[in-house]
Amino acid sequence: MHSGHLPTAPIWDDVRTLTAWDIPGSSPIDIIAAGFPCPDVSDLGTGRGLEGEQSRLFFEVVRLAQETRATYVLLENVADILHRGVERVVQALHQAGYDCRWMCVAAADVGAPHERRRWFCLARRRAARYRDESDDEADPRPDVADDDEAGREPPEEREDARGGKRGGSGEEL
């Protein structure tokens, strides 16, 4: 983030040294929004996925989410993550207590003159409840919905993480 955009917001130079206790007024945290480096995930990069030196910073986001008990985590990266680590992202978030939904959106889908596909993931802490949710017992399995072709004709159906069938828009079939 450029310091001119939020002049009073603190900027840390290394997420690996940032802790929940360094964030002023950090309790409670509603959302952590993060884009982690993509060179290890991108087709044009190293191909090491989340094991790469830069892209493994994703795990620092998970650490901060756990420390702050953030209600939501919003992630962004290149669509190539679908082939180089999305399963690890979902697994790490699930182990940290989050269920997630993700999709890919092409820049052209929102009016840009180029394709440039991006991956977005919204994770919600399982202990968090929407105001109108019941107190039903939380499902211990990850809640994963995906749409890797957002804005396009969805596939007829696919299996979700629970083994059930879902349409491309995430609705139960």
Over residues 19-32, the pLDDT tens digits come to 888 887 756 789 99
Q: Classify residue 28 by its DSSP letter.
A: S
User: Of 11, 79, 13, whose CA–CA distance to 42 is shortest?
Assistant: 79
**Does any domain span residue 79?**
yes
Q: Which one is catalytic: 38, 100, 104, 121?
A: 38
* pLDDT value at 34 more than 60: yes
**Does any domain span residue 82?**
yes
Angle between helices 86-95 and 58-68 (to 10 degrees): 20
* pLDDT value at 76 more than 70: yes
Out of 40-49, 79-88, 139-148, 158-167, which region has the weakest mean confidence (pLDDT)?
158-167
CATH number of the CATH domain containing 143 = 3.40.50.150
**Does any domain span residue 15?**
no
**Does any domain span residue 7?**
no
Structural domain including 80 reads: 27-166
Comparison of pLDDT for 161 and 11, the residue scoring more: 11
Q: What is the pLDDT of residue 50?
A: 75
**Does any domain span residue 78?**
yes
**Does any domain span residue 9?**
no
Token pair 């420390």: residue: 67
* pLDDT value at 18 more than 70: yes
Q: What is the pLDDT of residue 133?
A: 47
**Does any domain span residue 6?**
no
Instruction: For the chain, state the CA radius of gyration.
Output: 17
pLDDT one-digit tens code per residue, 100-150: 999 999 999 999 999 999 999 999 999 876 555 444 444 444 445 555 444
Q: Amino acid identity of 7?
A: P
Catalytic, 100? Answer no
Q: Dihedrals φ, ψ of 147, to 5°? A: -145, 90
Q: In 3-state terms, what secondary structure has residue 169? A: coil
pLDDT band at 1 (very low <50, low <70, confident <90, very high): low
Q: How many domains does the chain have?
A: 1
Q: How far apart are CA 50 and CA 42, in angstroms?
A: 11
Q: In 3-state terms, what secondary structure has residue 50? A: helix
- pTM > 0.85: yes or no: no
Q: Classify residue 157 by its DSSP letter.
A: -
pLDDT band at 164 (very low <50, low <70, confident <90, very high): very low
* pLDDT value at 45 more than 50: yes
Q: Tell me the pLDDT of the chain averaged across its residues.
A: 76
Q: How far apart are CA 68 and CA 161, in angstroms?
A: 27
Average pLDDT estimate for 148-173? 41
**Does any domain span residue 2?**
no
Residues sharing a CB contact under 8 Å with residue 45, sequence separation 6 or more, in sequence order = 38, 39, 52
Q: What is the pLDDT of residue 44?
A: 80
Distance of CA 30 to the CA centre of its chain: 15
Average pLDDT estimate for 58-81? 93
